[in-house]
Amino acid sequence: KNEVEQSPQNLTAQEGEFITINCSYSVGISALHWLQQHPGGGIVSLFMLSSGKKKHGRLIATINIQEKHSSLHITASHPRDSAVYICAVFYNTDKLIFGTGTRLQVFP
Amino acid sequence: DSGVTQTPKHLITATGQRVTLRCSPRSGDLSVYWYQQSLDQGLQFLIQYYNGEERAKGNILERFSAQQFPDLHSELNLSSLELGDSALYFCASSVASSTGELFFGEGSRLTVL
């Protein structure tokens, strides 16, 4: 069993839909990151969370430390949101464990 | 542009060879992380340096080594290359450790033939 589990693995949506990607982890963490990887391969950090909730544009990320769970929400999804979304957690000071990613496709 | 520079972008080499991948972190960032992304394994943490010193080690093979120099750039050395080492190697930097935002380079794609 992976220490970081993401669901769903694949997600398709119509433009404008509200999207939720979930991440559960089994280790004690100091921080959780949500990353976005486009087909070209580049990785962009979307959020870093250690508690609560953060919002950036149409993206919202939440974390519940007690339940070891985080969610990434995309409101009013757009085809340009199509990418792989990766949850990653820092544990044991500086070790980073990655989830397997959620492949999102948004169709017009 | 993340501010993190990785070279080379692409590298093709043969089994048994040795290569060096280079990473220049964002100005002011003291931490450098190396990751490997292969098709069957996803992203794997290899090693982290903070201000010149090794800070954390992940799934890094003994054939691989890294270092961070006084100017804070880092190099990942891969030796006795095998076909299975073909992957994207990413470098990321952050101001501090673990609680800092991560900035990723564009990656170095290594193909071992």
In tens, the pLDDT along A9-60 reads: 999 999 999 999 999 998 888 889 999 998 877 899 999 998 999 999 999 9
**CA A17 from chain center: how many Å?**
17
| Chain B residues touching residue A88 (CB < 8 angstroms) | 43
> Between chains, do B45 and A43 touch, taking CB under 8 Å as contact?
no
The confidence score (pLDDT) of residue A1 equals 61
The confidence score (pLDDT) of residue B98 equals 65
**Chain B: nearest CA to A46, how far in angstroms?**
9
pLDDT tens by residue, chain B, 113 residues: 889 999 999 999 999 999 999 999 999 999 999 999 987 778 899 999 999 999 888 889 999 999 999 999 999 999 999 999 999 999 999 987 666 788 999 999 999 99
The confidence score (pLDDT) of residue A3 equals 86
Nearest to B106 among A31, A42, A50 (CB): A42
* pLDDT exceeds cutoff 70 at A101: yes
B79: Cβ–Cβ under 8 A, 6 or more apart, which residues? B18, B63, B64, B65
> Between chains, do A44 and B33 touch, taking CB under 8 Å as contact?
no
A57: Cβ–Cβ under 8 A, 6 or more apart, which residues? none
Inter-chain contacts counted by CB atoms under 8 A, chains A and B: 63
The span from the CA of B85 to the CA of B46, in Å, is 13
